[in-house]
């Protein structure tokens, strides 16, 4: 069933953070200010590669209105950061390696003064040769960007002998796939407010996907104990992986501590482009061979990633790409060799899809070419080579059994879009534009293509992947739920609220959802890798029995009723519908006169035995309470509010859980255990006069288990897909000689509403294998993967041209018009 508002019924709800967002009342962290606040700015290197000979900050320091000018000498702790490896200098000492490298930081009364102060800092540089590309970095005699060379990380995987296998292949396809430097382009640029507190602590209001990681990193840099730092990290105006790593936080923190004044930093878009992370450009060479029946015998992959000047998560992204270059297919033999290389280009790092987008673009291109080679339909070819439901993962690792591949394949096969393509095929019309679009301008050609995606969730083997959360009855009677996950816009709060309503029976107004505050929430790991929804679901599953039992036991004691007669509901504790029915078994001691209840209730502030008309039961009987024997009654009633319960219970009622994301028992770092599958079909139109491609229609099947939150699910797939549209058609942060050729949204083109036009159908496949209790899989990333390769397939269907580079270059599709 297609997912939309109608098919979701009552599960389609206004998000708890919605009113603040549509009214503008919600203050983002970059909207916050404090009295006496200073403005912080960072001086960044103008050169992609240079030695620093001297930094003269005296003039800037002397400027009236300037309160601090910091250089590397002013970093009290570790002058380095990075989630995995701390090799990125907070403030550069003797060398800069990219145009975003920070050399000094300033705090001043106003932005204009801060700006002037930056211009007064004189830095003497000696230019060094620029390492422009991975190829240049790997060449003999290349300048070394780090002490141990230009290679951040190498990884490989081998099964069987591909050379032997290639010898017996009937067809071999070799291709090199080139993918661009894509920018996250979160609408809210990096920034925050940094407040030194009276007691010497530091409060950081700044978006991140993992508050506790920021706390750890800032503790290293400032030398302050972690507990002295408080990170407030939600709401976030978009992140997509780009704000997981530190950005402005070290400068804000150091400036605030130095001046003992609140400091605000909010990057301009230009600075965000220059300093921020991008998706790794990768060059992926694939050689794949099949036998006469279309079975893949050998698959050889070489991945080269441009990771830029520092590590951040470059190694982890490469591991992920290596795994995902294999995908949901069976191979006789496999060999992958991957390398992530330092250059003087911009920083590459974590980005939605995490290396899977590049790998799957290449892999799916390969599948289409192989199908061509053996004359098979491309979708049939994928089925021919598809993994079995109980097959191990790409690295041969044990994974949770899944039939997702076949489910997604079947769904796409049955889709009207793919059926249309099948009909086009069999009609064998010469002019596809006529067959599928009626009479059209002859330079407009339409085609339909598809792609298949297998995407891992969680961080994988060997990487700490904690999860957990806390639920309690707060003193004011709210059910307070605390998680260390962040609201980046994905709808985390809405998903959490809906789960609490559905699993526990609470109403929205009973709840207080607490996230994004390291002083309060448990450390439940990062909000990345499509893991937060799964973790919250699992946490609630684990929390529910204990918490529910404690609440009911406390209520039972107060009410003098057996626990079994009670249940959680809107507003408080209700009598269970089963009371009357079960009465015979329980005997007389279970009987409590309603009058007793009412009397017991009388001295409890907040008890409410009326006003429950909105439960739908139309129950008006409560006012006759004194006459009613609750045990005789199958009507449901609210007996005790949560507030009354909180006021009366002798000790706090709290439940907490922590556990690890399911991982494969397998000795290979990063190998995944849970996988999500998707299939994407797209109809695209190529204008052969201009070479421009327009997407007309999309179909997405996503096999990720139950839909937790329909609105969020739809939004994630739609939003991810349009991000992939940009990846396929327009987005590239080009670099020339280590400088960004684009600095703002006038030349870096993300899709507009006009580009994103066209129908999009989304079909969730909710069924999981029997006995699977890993719960719903995250879908935050998978939607951003498949559209790009599917568009390339559609372009081929329309024009007969196979392209191997993203974004599509219109020049490759434009044809000289023939007027006959």
Partner 1 sequence: MKKQSDLQPAPSSVFHCTVNGEDVQLRLPADKRLLAIIREDMELTGTKRSCEIGRCGACMVLIDGKPVNACLTMAYQCSGKAITTIEGLARPESLHPVQQAFLDEGGYQCGYCTPGMIISVTALLEDIPNPSEGEIEEALSGNLCRCTGYGGIVRAVKRAIDQRRERP
Footprint on this chain of ligand FES (rule: CB under 6 A): 187, 238, 489
DSSP state of 746: T
Closest contact distance (angstroms) between CB of 788 and ligand FES is 20
Classify 310 in phi/psi space as left (phi over 0), alpha (psi -120 to 50) or beta: beta
Which member of 89, 332, 484, 489 binds partner 1 (CB under 8 A)? 489
Choosing among ligand FES, partner 1, none, which partner's interface includes residue 188 (Cβ < 5 to 8 Å by kind)?
partner 1
Binding of partner 1 by 235 (CB under 8 A)? yes
What is d(CA 340, CA 318) in angstroms, rounded to the nearest whole number? 7
Closer to partner 1 at the Cβ: 249 or 709?
709
Output the six-digit token pair for 214: 């920021």
Closer to ligand FES at the Cβ: 477 or 489?
489
In the block, which residue shows the tokens 């005296």? 58
| 608-647 as b/e: b if 16+ CB within 10 A | bbeebeebeeeeeebeebeebebbebebbbbbbbbbbbbe
Closer to ligand FES at the Cβ: 238 or 392?
238
Q: Which of 255, 185, 335, 298 is nearest to 38 (CA)?
A: 255
Q: By beta-carbon distance, which residue lies closest to ligand FES?
A: 187
What is d(CA 684, CA 698) in angstroms, rounded to the nearest whole number? 9
Choosing among ligand FES, partner 1, none, which partner's interface includes residue 54 (Cβ < 5 to 8 Å by kind)?
none
Contact predicate 452/408, CB 8 Å: yes
Choosing among ligand FES, partner 1, none, which partner's interface includes residue 189 (Cβ < 5 to 8 Å by kind)?
partner 1
Closest contact distance (angstroms) between CB of 632 and ligand FES is 53
Closer to ligand FES at the Cβ: 265 or 450?
265
Q: Which of 395, 444, 379 is nearest to 692 (CA)?
A: 444
Closest contact distance (angstroms) between CB of 129 and partner 1 is 27
Contact predicate 444/433, CB 8 Å: yes
Closer to partner 1 at the Cβ: 140 or 746?
746
Closer to partner 1 at the Cβ: 14 or 431?
14
Q: H helices within 159-263, ranges in order?
A: 162-167, 211-222, 249-259
Closest contact distance (angstroms) between CB of 78 and partner 1 is 32
DSSP state of 247: S
Which member of 81, 157, 212, 240 binds partner 1 (CB under 8 A)? 240
Binding of partner 1 by 699 (CB under 8 A)? no
Task: Mention every residue, 6+ apart, whose C-beta is less than 8 A from residue 57.
Answer: 69, 71, 104, 121
Which member of 88, 155, 189, 433 binds partner 1 (CB under 8 A)? 189
Which member of 188, 214, 306, 465 binds partner 1 (CB under 8 A)? 188
Binding of partner 1 by 116 (CB under 8 A)? yes
| 272-298 as b/e: b if 16+ CB within 10 A | bbbbbbbbbbbbbebbbbbeeebbbbb
Closer to ligand FES at the Cβ: 187 or 626?
187
- Give the per-residue SS3 of 322-371: HHHCCCCECCCEEEEEEEEEECCCCCECCCCCCCHHHHHHHHHHHHHHHH
Closer to partner 1 at the Cβ: 248 or 543?
248
Closest contact distance (angstroms) between CB of 490 and partner 1 is 6
Closest contact distance (angstroms) between CB of 292 and partner 1 is 42
Residue 373's H or E segment, with its range, is helix 356-374
What is d(CA 357, CA 344) in angstroms, rounded to the nearest whole number? 23
DSSP state of 224: -
Closer to partner 1 at the Cβ: 524 or 721?
721
Closer to partner 1 at the Cβ: 231 or 750?
750
Choosing among partner 1, ligand FES, none, which partner's interface includes residue 760 (Cβ < 5 to 8 Å by kind)?
partner 1
- Give the per-residue SS3 of 100-116: CCEEEEEEECCHHHHHH
Binding of partner 1 by 33 (CB under 8 A)? yes
Closest contact distance (angstroms) between CB of 2 and partner 1 is 13
Choosing among partner 1, ligand FES, none, which partner's interface includes residue 510 (Cβ < 5 to 8 Å by kind)?
none
Which member of 527, 641, 721, 739 binds partner 1 (CB under 8 A)? 721
Output the six-digit token pair for 522: 């448990």
Which member of 45, 86, 185, 307 binds partner 1 (CB under 8 A)? 185
Closest contact distance (angstroms) between CB of 75 and ligand FES is 33
The residue count for binding partner 1 (CB under 8 A) is 61
Closest contact distance (angstroms) between CB of 238 and partner 1 is 4
Q: Around Cβ 135, how many Cβ atoms within 10 Å?
A: 14
Sheet holding 333-342, edge to edge: 151-159, 333-342, 296-308, 282-290, 171-178
Site for partner 1, residues 432 to 461, rule: CB under 8 A: none
Closer to ligand FES at the Cβ: 238 or 647?
238
Binding of partner 1 by 610 (CB under 8 A)? no
Choosing among ligand FES, partner 1, none, which partner's interface includes residue 750 (Cβ < 5 to 8 Å by kind)?
partner 1
The one segment of 235-243, 294-302, 642-650, 765-773 that binds partner 1 by CB under 8 A: 235-243
| 337-369 as b/e: b if 16+ CB within 10 A | bbbbbbbbbbbbbbbbbbbbbbbbbbbbbbbbb
Closest contact distance (angstroms) between CB of 207 and ligand FES is 12
What is d(CA 94, CA 53) in angstroms, rounded to the nearest whole number? 7
Closer to partner 1 at the Cβ: 430 or 754?
754
Phi/psi of residue 189, each to 5°? -70, 170
Contact predicate 156/168, CB 8 Å: no
Closest contact distance (angstroms) between CB of 16 and partner 1 is 11
Binding of partner 1 by 756 (CB under 8 A)? yes
Choosing among partner 1, ligand FES, none, which partner's interface includes residue 714 (Cβ < 5 to 8 Å by kind)?
partner 1
Alpha-carbon torsion (455, 206, 749, 741), positive or negative: negative
DSSP string, 680-740: EEEEEEEETTTTEEEEEEEEEEEE-SS-S-HHHHHHHHHHHHHHHHHHHHT----EETTEE
Which member of 58, 73, 76, 119 binds partner 1 (CB under 8 A)? 119
Residues forming the site for partner 1 (CB under 8 A)? 5, 12, 14-15, 17-28, 31, 33, 112, 116, 119-120, 184-189, 235-238, 240, 266, 268-269, 488-491, 711, 714-715, 718-723, 725, 744-746, 750-754, 756-757, 760
């Amino acid at each position: 069933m297609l997912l939309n508002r109608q098919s979701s019924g009552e599960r389609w709800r206004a998000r708890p953070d919605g009113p603040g967002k549509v009214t503008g009342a919600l203050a983002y962290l970059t909207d916050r200010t404090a009295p006496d606040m200073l403005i912080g700015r960072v001086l960044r290197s103008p050169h992609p590669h240079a030695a620093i000979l001297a930094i003269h900050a005296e003039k800037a320091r002397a400027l009236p209105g300037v309160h601090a000018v910091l250089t590397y000498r002013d970093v009290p702790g570790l002058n380095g950061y990075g989630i995995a490896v701390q090799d990125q200098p907070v403030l550069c000492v003797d060398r800069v390696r990219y145009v975003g490298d920070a050399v000094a930081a300033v705090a001043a009364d106003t932005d204009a003064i801060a700006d002037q102060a930056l211009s007064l800092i004189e830095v003497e540089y000696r230019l060094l040769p620029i390492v422009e590309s991975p190829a240049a970095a790997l060449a003999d005699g290349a300048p070394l960007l780090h002490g141990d060379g230009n290679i951040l990380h190498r990884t490989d995987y081998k099964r069987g002998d591909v050379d032997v296998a290639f010898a017996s292949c009937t067809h071999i396809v070799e291709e090199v796939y080139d993918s661009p430097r894509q920018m996250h382009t979160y609408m809210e640029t990096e920034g925050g407010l940094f407040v030194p507190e009276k007691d010497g602590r530091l409060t950081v209001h700044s978006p991140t996907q993992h508050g506790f990681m920021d706390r750890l990193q800032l503790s290293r840099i400032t030398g302050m104990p972690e507990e002295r730092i408080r990170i407030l990290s939600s709401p976030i105006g978009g992140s997509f992986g780009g704000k997981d790593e530190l950005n402005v936080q070290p400068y804000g923190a150091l400036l605030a501590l130095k001046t003992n004044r609140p400091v605000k930093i909010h990057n301009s878009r230009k600075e965000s482009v220059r300093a921020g992370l991008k998706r790794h450009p990768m060059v992926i060479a694939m050689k794949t061979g099949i036998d006469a029946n279309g079975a893949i015998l050998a698959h050889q992959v070489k991945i080269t990633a441009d990771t830029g000047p520092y590590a951040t998560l470059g190694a982890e992204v490469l591991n992920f790409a290596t795994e995902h270059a294999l995908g949901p297919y069976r191979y006789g033999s496999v060999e992958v060799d991957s390398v992530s290389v330092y250059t003087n280009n911009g920083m590459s790092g974590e980005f939605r899809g995490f290396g899977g987008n590049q790998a799957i673009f290449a892999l799916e291109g390969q599948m289409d070419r192989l199908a061509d080679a053996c004359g098979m339909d491309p979708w049939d070819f994928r089925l021919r080579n598809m993994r079995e439901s109980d097959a191990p993962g790409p690295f041969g690792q044990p994974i949770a059994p899944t039939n997702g591949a076949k489910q997604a394949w079947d769904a796409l096969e049955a889709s009207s879009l793919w059926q249309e393509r099948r009909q086009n095929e069999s009609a064998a019309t010469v002019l596809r534009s006529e067959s599928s679009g009626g009479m059209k301008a002859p330079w407009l050609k339409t085609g339909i293509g598809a792609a298949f995606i297998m995407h891992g969730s969680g961080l994988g083997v060997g990487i700490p992947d904690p999860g957990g959360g806390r639920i309690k009855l707060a003193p004011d009677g709210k059910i307070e739920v605390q998680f260390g996950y962040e609201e980046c816009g994905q709808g985390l709060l809405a998903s959490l609220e809906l789960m609490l309503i559905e699993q526990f029976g609470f109403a929205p107004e009973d709840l207080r959802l607490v996230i994004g505050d390291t002083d309060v929430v448990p450390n439940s790991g990062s909000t990345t890798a499509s893991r937060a929804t799964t973790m919250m679901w699992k946490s609630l599953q684990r929390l529910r029995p204990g918490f529910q039992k404690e609440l009911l036991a406390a209520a039972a004691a107060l009410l003098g009723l057996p626990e079994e007669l009670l249940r959680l509901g809107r507003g408080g504790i209700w009598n269970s519908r089963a009371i009357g029915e079960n009465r015979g078994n329980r005997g007389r001691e279970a009987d409590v006169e309603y009058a007793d209840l009412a009397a017991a209730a009388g001295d409890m502030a907040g008890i409410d035995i009326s006003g429950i008309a909105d439960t739908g039961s139309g129950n008006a009987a409560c006012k006759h309470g004194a006459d009613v024997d609750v045990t005789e009654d199958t009507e449901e009633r609210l007996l005790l509010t949560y507030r009354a319960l909180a006021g009366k219970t002798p000790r706090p009622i709290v439940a907490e859980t922590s556990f690890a994301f399911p991982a494969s028992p397998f000795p290979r770092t990063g190998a995944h255990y849970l996988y999500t599958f998707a299939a994407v079909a797209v109809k695209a139109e190529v204008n052969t006069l201009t070479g421009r491609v327009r997407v007309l229609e999309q179909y997405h099947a996503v096999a990720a288990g139950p839909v937790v939150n329909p609105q969020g699910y739809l939004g994630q797939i739609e939003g991810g897909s349009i991000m992939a549209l940009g990846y396929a058609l327009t987005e590239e942060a080009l670099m020339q000689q280590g400088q960004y050729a684009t600095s703002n949204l006038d030349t870096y083109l993300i899709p507009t509403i006009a580009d994103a036009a066209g129908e999009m159908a989304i079909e969730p496949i909710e069924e999981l294998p029997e006995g699977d209790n890993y719960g719903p899989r995250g879908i935050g990333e998978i939607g951003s993967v498949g559209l790009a390769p599917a568009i390339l397939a559609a372009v081929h269907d329309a024009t007969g041209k196979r392209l191997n580079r993203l974004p599509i270059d219109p020049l490759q599709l434009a044809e000289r018009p023939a007027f006959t």
